[in-house]
């Protein structure tokens, strides 16, 4: 294999791993003459090492996550995901509100057919609103597996997010002559299917990450 390519592939590993095994791996790649398959195997292994380090202290952020996860698991895996979800919802509402003012100033509601750039603008807010619980759940599962946290803590965080996702909805208030309209969240009837689906996705991703880490550690 070309020396530059071998060096680039080795560089995908975390620094701690490279310091211990980098020279050996680079020499093996240069002498082995591997092709696309070998490069792909190295890239997937490097990605696994970055996501779930096998070397203690190999990456500062991993050890910090483990320390905080052990010191305050309720905050890392319970409060933080809920705060992240609330922040994502806030950004989605901001997009909806600003889009209403920019593209539909004469309309009494932003939930009307749109065209042009408004489709992409409102679409970004809609995607953020609907997919935020899933994205936060995936990050929660990854952080819990990486920090080797007990399953109880990410489960509680996932349950809290699922409960919130199942009972909130967007509400808009029509503008009047004296006041502008408003966009906010409010509690509504619980939708169990939404909550169960979000919780199931987080648990499934957690189990997949955990299995991936177990295979990577072997």
Largest distance between two CA atoms of the chain: 77
pLDDT average, residue stretch 169-175: 85
What percentage of the chain has pLDDT greater than the value 70?
A: 90
Which tops the pLDDT comparison, 117 or 180? 117
Closest CA to 11 of 19, 58, 217: 19
User: Does the pLDDT at position 203 exceed 70?
Assistant: yes
User: Does the pLDDT at position 183 exceed 80?
Assistant: yes
Please state, in angstroms and rounded to a whole number, the distance separating the CA atoms of residues 69 and 140. 12
User: Is the whole-model pTM more than 0.95?
Assistant: no
Which pair of tokens denotes residue 143? 């952080």
What is residue 58's predicted lDDT score, i.e. its pLDDT? 47
pLDDT average, residue stretch 130-144: 93
Q: Mean pLDDT over all residues of the chain?
A: 85
Half-sphere exposure (Cβ direction) of 191: Cα atoms closer than 13 Å: 12
User: Does the pLDDT at position 162 exceed 50?
Assistant: yes
Please state, in angstroms and rounded to a whole number, the distance separating the CA atoms of residues 197 and 78. 19
Which pair of tokens denotes residue 77? 């895996």
- Contact criterion met (CB below 8 Å) for 66 and 149: no
Please state, in angstroms and rounded to a whole number, the distance separating the CA atoms of residues 56 and 118. 49
Distance of CA 61 to the CA centre of its chain: 17
Please state, in angstroms and rounded to a whole number, the distance separating the CA atoms of residues 172 and 191. 20
- Which has the minimum average pLDDT: 101-105, 190-194, 210-214? 210-214
Q: What are the residue boundaries of the structural domains of the chain, listed by start?
A: 3-51, 62-217
Interhelix angle 117-146/60-71, rounded to 10 degrees, is 80
Which pair of tokens denotes residue 217? 């550690």
């Amino acid at each position: 294999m070309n020396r530059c390519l071998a060096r680039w592939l080795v560089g995908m590993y975390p620094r701690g791993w490279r310091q211990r095994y980098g020279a050996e791996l680079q020499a093996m790649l240069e002498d082995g003459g591997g092709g696309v398959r070998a490069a792909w195997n190295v890239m997937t292994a490097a990605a696994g090492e970055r996501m779930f380090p096998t070397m203690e202290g190999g990456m500062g952020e991993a050890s910090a996550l483990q320390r905080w996860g052990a010191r305050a698991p309720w905050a890392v895996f319970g409060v933080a995901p809920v705060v992240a979800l609330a922040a994502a919802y806030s950004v989605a509402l901001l997009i909806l509100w600003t889009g209403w003012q920019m593209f539909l100033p004469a309309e009494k509601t932003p939930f009307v057919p749109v065209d042009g750039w408004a489709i992409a603008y409102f679409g970004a807010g809609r995607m953020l609103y609907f997919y935020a619980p899933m994205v936060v759940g995936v990050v929660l599962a990854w952080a819990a597996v990486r920090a080797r946290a007990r399953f109880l803590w990410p489960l509680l965080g996932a349950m809290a997010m699922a409960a919130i996702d199942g009972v909130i909805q967007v509400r808009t208030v029509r503008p009047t002559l004296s006041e502008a309209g408003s966009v906010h969240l409010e509690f509504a009837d619980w939708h169990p299917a939404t909550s169960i689906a979000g919780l199931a996705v987080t648990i499934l991703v957690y189990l997949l990450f955990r299995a991936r880490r177990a295979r990577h550690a072997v």
